[in-house]
Amino acid sequence: MGKTYVGSRLRQLRRERDLSQASLAATLGLSASYVNQIEHDVRPLTVPVLLRITEAFGVDATFFSRDDDSRLLAEIQDVVTDKELCPSPVDLQELSELVYNHPAIARSMVDMHRRYRNVRDKLSIATDTRRRIDLNVPVTNNQALSMPHDEVRDFFYARQNYLDALDTTAEEISGELGVERFGIRDTEDALAHRLRDRHGVEISTSSDLDGTLHQFDRDAGRLELASQLTTGQRAFRMAAELAYLEAGTGIDELVAEEHFTSEATINLARRGVASYFAAAVVLPYRTIHSEAERSGYDVEYLRSVFGVGYETVASRLSTLQRPNLRGIPFTFVRVDRAGNMSKRQSATGFHLAHSGGTCPLWNLYETFTNPGAIMRQLAQMPDGRNYLWIARTVRHHQGRFGQTGKLFAIGLGCEARHADRTVYAEGLDLDDLSGATPIGAGCRVCPREKCAQRAFPPIHEEIEIDAHRSSIAPY
């Protein structure tokens, strides 16, 4: 390990733990002056000290690596490419230095930009009279200003898609239910017994819920499940309702930490957190982590072992970020044929644009021509980072003949440096990534020139159109 100066990061860690330099030094078995010198970049971080820190504080070694800045760097790049706020370009090296040396300032800038963007978008909706049928009827805050899905996505993104206290509680309940010992059918039975015996909830199935997959009447103590649900889907929905009954206080406290703008957003956030809890019950952390590492994160294998759907397993793999027992940091996305992204969860630095669509060169869109087949792609982002993506389609809830079903593409991606831990790297040359597909976060923010698939001009450059000249790219 070469000389690595980590003063700002060590200071950040100490302040997060509310420790003085003397207390930190005592914990690490070092002198206070030695810690002071590390914090002021007089001394570099050594391997023995790094090992003491990771053992004492439960942080991954990459906490002190510049590679761990990728997520924040991508976000701060999004800020400086917003021409309304930053008309002049900012050098990537300067941004990298800001992120590494002053991460708190960078996060504050990202947070302010996110709030500004939300206000700007809401104001645009509120003042867009073309979308209002009756101009004499005022648009209420909830009608015009609420963007629940974006707010909830930011909520999970800010927490790197991992909720430690809730995950741990769910794992304890999973142990009491015996999930590790049983198959999914027995897990369903165990959940039904717990709901009935502890909470007086009677469970029934019905084929006449008119498109509703489940509904719970807490006052009557009755939970109805749609008859077309699989065993795993029934278990998941029972675990989600158990979340409200046994971890409701924790869910409310977690949601209350965020200043959501509407009641609809609060309810959506509560449902999202309850779904997270359900996945953590049905796929308890240590068990799914162990099986994932042993199988090389083989999603098809894991779905057969745990008896749940491909999407559920892929989503759960993107949450395995428990300190001292981290899985591969994945990004999980779900898109439809039109490119609408209905789910996105990320524990990585892979950055997704907030507007302008996603990249058409992404392998997610090829899966619609090969339904059910897993497709691999080595992709390179404009900042030079390489990723391994796997994608396949899943079909949702087509109950009867003639009913419109749902077809989505599910993507799971990680940085190429983690790829060799997966079965999906077999046969790929990870030492030579010159053939990686060049993709971007979205046309509006992508700096790539001469891209034949570009749909919109980049917002950070002036458009120059020569009426007497044509090229492969439209802009």
Does residue 104 register a pLDDT over 60?
Answer: yes
Nearest to 455 by CA among 369, 346, 365: 365
Helix axes 310-317, 285-295, angle to 10 degrees: 100
**Burial class of residue 171 in the structure, from the number of CB atoms within 10 Å of its CB (0-12 exposed, 13-18 middle, 19+ buried):** buried
Q: Check pLDDT > 50 for residue 128.
A: no
pLDDT at 276: 96
Residue 160 token pair: 């790197």
**Is 170 or 116 the better-scoring residue by pLDDT?**
170
Instruction: Give the pair of three-digit tokens for residue 32.
Output: 């206070």
Integer angstrom CA distances of residue 201 from 197, 224, 266: 8, 10, 25
Question: So what's the pLDDT on residue 394?
Answer: 94
> How many Cα atoms sit within 13 Å of 264 on the Cβ side?
11
- CA separation for the pair 16, 30 (Å, rounded): 19
Local confidence band at 193 (pLDDT 50, 70, 90 cut-offs)? very high
Whether residue 159 has pLDDT greater than 70: yes
Please report the pLDDT score of residue 131 as a whole number.
Answer: 40
Higher-pLDDT residue of 12 and 20 is 20
Is 174's pLDDT higher than 90?
Answer: yes
The Cα 69–Cα 350 span in angstroms is: 11
- Mean pLDDT of the 143-172 span: 81
Res. 291 pLDDT band, cuts 50 70 90: very high
Q: How far apart are CA 317 and CA 311, in angstroms?
A: 10
The values of phi and psi at residue 410, to 5°, are: -105, 125
**What's residue 342's pLDDT?**
84
Confidence of residue 129 (pLDDT cuts 50, 70, 90): very low
Whether residue 144 is predicted with pLDDT greater than 60 in this model: the reply is no
- The whole-number pLDDT of residue 59 equals 63
pLDDT tens readout for residues 296-333: 999 999 999 998 999 999 999 999 988 778 888 899 99
Confidence bin at 132 (pLDDT 50/70/90): very low
Question: What are 328-354's pLDDT values in tens digits?
Answer: 889 999 999 888 888 888 766 566 665
Average pLDDT, the chain: 82
Q: How many percent of the chain have pLDDT more than 70?
A: 84
| pLDDT tens-digit readout, 413-459 | 998 888 989 999 999 998 888 889 998 877 877 878 888 888 877 76
HEC profile of the chain:
CCCECCHHHHHHHHHHCCCCHHHHHHHHCCCHHHHHHHHCCCCCECHHHHHHHHHHHCCCHHHHCHHHHHHHHHHHHHHHCCCCCCCCCCCHHHHHHHHHHCHHHHHHHHHHHHHHHHHHHHHHHHHCHHHCCCCCCCCCHHHHCCCHHHHHHHHHHHCCCCCHHHHHHHHHHHHHHCCCCCCHHHHHHHHHHHHHHHHCCEEEEECCCCCCCEEEECCCCEEEEECCCCHHHHHHHHHHHHHHHHHHHHHHHHHHCCCCCCHHHHHHHHHHHHHHHHHHHHCCHHHHHHHHHHHCCCHHHHHHHHCCCHHHHHHHHCCCEECCEECCCCEEEEECCCCCEEEEEECCCCCCCCCCCCCCCCHHHHHHHCCCCCEEEEEECCCCCEEEEEEEEEEECCCCCCCCCEEEEEEEEEEHHHHHHCHHHCCCCCCCCCCCEECCCCCCCCCCCCCCCCCCCCCCCCCCCCCCCCCCCCC
> C-alpha distances in angstroms, 125 versus 137, 149, 344, 366, 413?
15, 16, 23, 33, 33
Are 420 and 328 contacting, i.e. CB atoms less than 8 angstroms apart? Answer: no
| Domain 327-475 annotated CATH 1.10.3470 | no
For 7-64, CATH number out of 3.75.10.10, 1.10.260.40, 3.20.20.70, 3.40.50.2000 equals 1.10.260.40
Instruction: Give 69-102 pLDDT, tens digit per residue.
Output: 666 776 787 788 776 777 777 877 788 788 878 8
Give whole-number Cα distances, 286 to 166, 175, 221, 280, 326, in Å: 14, 11, 32, 10, 10
Residue 138 has pLDDT above 80, yes or no: no
Domain 140-282 and domain 327-475 have a common topology? no
Question: Taking the CB of residue 395, how many other CB atoms lie within 10 A of it?
Answer: 11
**Given a cut of 70, is residue 127 above it in pLDDT?**
no
CA distance 466 to 151: 41
pLDDT tier, 274 (very low <50, low <70, confident <90, very high otherwise): very high
What average pLDDT does this structure show over 29-39?
A: 87
Q: In the prediction, which pLDDT does 137 show?
A: 46
Mean pLDDT of 355-378: 87
- The more confidently predicted of residues 68 and 10 is 10
Question: Higher model confidence: residue 396 or residue 35?
Answer: 35
Domain boundaries, the chain: 7-64, 140-282, 327-475
Is the four-CA dihedral 430, 431, 434, 439 of positive or negative sign?
positive
- Torsion-angle region of 323 (φ positive above 0: left; ψ -120 to 50: alpha; else: beta): beta
Residue with tokens 């430690």: 164
Most distant CA atoms of the chain, gap in Å: 78
- Which pLDDT value is given to residue 140? 45
Under the banding of pLDDT at 50, 70 and 90, the label for residue 469 is confident
∠ at Cα 172 (169, 175), nearest 5°?
A: 150
Q: What does the alpha-carbon distance between residue 149 and residue 269 come to, in Å, rounded to a whole number?
A: 9
Place of tokens 């597909």: 437
pLDDT at residue 358, rounded to an integer = 80
d(CA 352, CA 300): 26
Does 142 have pLDDT greater than 50?
no
Position 353 scores a pLDDT of 60
Residue 134 has what pLDDT?
46
Q: In CATH, which of 1.10.1740.10, 1.10.10.60, 1.10.10.2910, 1.10.10.10 is domain 140-282?
A: 1.10.10.2910
CA proximity to 418, closest of 333, 353, 326, 325: 326
pLDDT, mean of residues 181-210: 87
